[in-house]
Amino acid sequence: MKARTITEAKRFEDIPNVGPRVASDFKKLGFKCPKDLRGKDPLFLYKKLCKITKSRQDPCVLDVFIAVCDFADKSLTRPWWFYTKERKSKYPEI
């Protein structure tokens, strides 16, 4: 069962929209626990992940990061694809 707030999340996988792959990405980015995601900028995280992996990540990864940051900061639990339209208008270069 997924957490309803970031304080309930003990593992990254407890966060809505996060599975093993995204949890692994957060660990690559240096995060130790879900609470560390509070106040983070999803575009910064996306660009940093691209740099770390030396590969352009799928833009949907940014959608997931936006969803996770909204969850961490506002306890919003929308599906990641809800943010695709926002990402395309806010970050057209991605």
Q: What is the pLDDT of residues 20-45, one digit of tens each?
A: 999 999 999 999 999 999 999 999 99
**Domain assignment of residue 6, yes or no:** no
Q: Cβ neighbours of residue 82 under 8 Å, at least 6 residues apart?
A: 67
What pLDDT does 83 receive? Answer: 98
- Within a domain: 5: no
Q: How confident is the model at residue 86 (pLDDT cuts 50, 70, 90)?
A: very high
Residue 36 · residue 47 · CB < 8 Å: no
pLDDT mean over 46-53 = 98
Range of the domain at 38: 12-90
pLDDT of 90: 95
Backbone angles phi, psi at 86, to 5 degrees: -60, -45
The answer to the question of residue 84 being in a domain is yes
Residues 51-74: tens digit of each pLDDT: 999 999 999 999 999 999 999 999
In a domain, 4, yes or no: no
Cα-based angle 76, 46, 86 (whole degrees, multiple of 5): 50
Which letter, b or e, does each residue of 78-94 get, where b requires 16 or more Cβ atoms within 10 Å of its Cβ? eebeebeeebeeeeeeb
- Residue 45 near residue 67 (C-beta atoms within 8 A): no
